Every structure is written in structure tokens, then in C-alpha cells.
Amino acid sequence: MQELLSFFDRSVYWVEGGNERPAVYYIHDREAGGILVNAPRFSPERLAQLRAIVEPAYLFLPSRLGAQDLGAWQAAGVKLVAYGHEGRGLEVPMDVELDNKTRFTRTMDFLPMSGRTAGACALRFKNKPGAIFFGPILEPGADGWPTLVFHPDDHSAESRLFGVLGLQDLHYEYAFTDRFEPGVTRYGPGADAAIQAAINRVLES
């Protein structure tokens, strides 16, 4: 497990994955507690590692892609959180069904951005310096910065495009996706400008 960021009220860790499986991140938030982004493999050892930082309270799925061991995490007391359309395709029931009004805290909310899957959703830190966890909505391009990459199995390429266009007025310094390679993947600071430039290149091509 590797600490990536530390703010005054929260820290972000990379847990595992990033190539064959979605990258898993762990957020230690002073108000919300421990938040997993994507589902790591469950083991007593992994649970103990997380608890050494803070008790895990939530497991947020940006999408159903790569979801694993969800029942085991729920049995350990972790609440499963996903957007409505996404949660209905999971092997276990959700504990918290997201909509566009749901928030973890006053400064932590969600951005529904369907397209890669029917209920893909990003998690955002609204307060400065700002960060977004995009899941599969974006992925690193050749320069390491997240960008828009269309896939043959996209639920809706048009929805993906419209969702990404909605990022133009958002400001954030850091961004994380399902693809992560330490030392190679770029996540900030300066993520909003770099991502917008990368998306513009896609649109112009």
C-alpha cells in the first residue's frame, strides 16, 4: 500500500491493481472514515492493513467492472455504495444507492457519468485542492494523463462523451482512474488542465 496524497483532512492510498484489474484506492477522511474506491481482494491481512490506517466504512464502486469479494467486505462491516443502475448488476445488494444528491460529506460528492457502463459514477473532493476518482470513465493516455478512450463494449459512447464534456467547468488538482502504474501514471497536481487538453486532442482527432 502506497500513500499518494495527504491533505489536512484526508489522505489517499493506492492499495492494489491497476493493470489487469481496476486500481483500488483507500481514502482516510477525517469525517467519513475509511472509503475504498473499487474492491480489493478480501483477506484478513488486507483488512488489518486498512484498519491500521482507519476502520473501513464504505466501499464505493465507480462501476461494476472488476468487482470482487463484495459479500466478504460487507460481512466485515463495510457498506457497499454504487449508483443505482450499476448496483442492480452486482452479486450482492447495495447498502447505499447513490443518486445525484448523495454525498459522503459536505465536501465529497458524486458525479454520475454513465457511458462506459450504465451506472458509472465518479467520486469528487470539492474542496481545494480537489480530486476526482473517475473509475473507468477516463484512463491514462500516452503521456500518462487521464483522457477519454472509447471501447467497443461501451454502454453508450455518446453518454461518455457528454459526461466528459461536463468536466470543462470543474477545477481539481488530482485525478485517479482504474488504470494506475506507480511512477508512470500521472495524477496531479494540474490534473484538470492536463485532462482537458488531452480530451481536446481526442475530440480534434
pLDDT tens digits, 22-37: 999 999 999 999 999 9
Residue 46: pLDDT band by 50, 70, 90 thresholds?
Answer: very high
pLDDT at residue 5, as a whole number: 96
> Would you state the CATH architecture of domain 2-204?
4-Layer Sandwich (3.60)
**Mean pLDDT, residues 183-200 taken together:** 95
pLDDT at residue 175, as a whole number: 98
Percent of the chain surpassing pLDDT 70: 100
Whether 126 shows a pLDDT value over 90: the answer reads yes
pLDDT at residue 62, as a whole number: 96
Show the DSSP H helices in 61-154 as ranges: 70-75, 84-87
Whether 119 shows a pLDDT value over 80: the answer reads yes
pTM of full prediction above 0.85: yes
What ranges make up the beta strands (E) of the chain?
A: 2-6, 10-16, 24-29, 33-37, 56-60, 79-83, 96-98, 103-105, 108-112, 121-125, 131-135, 139-140, 146-147, 174-177
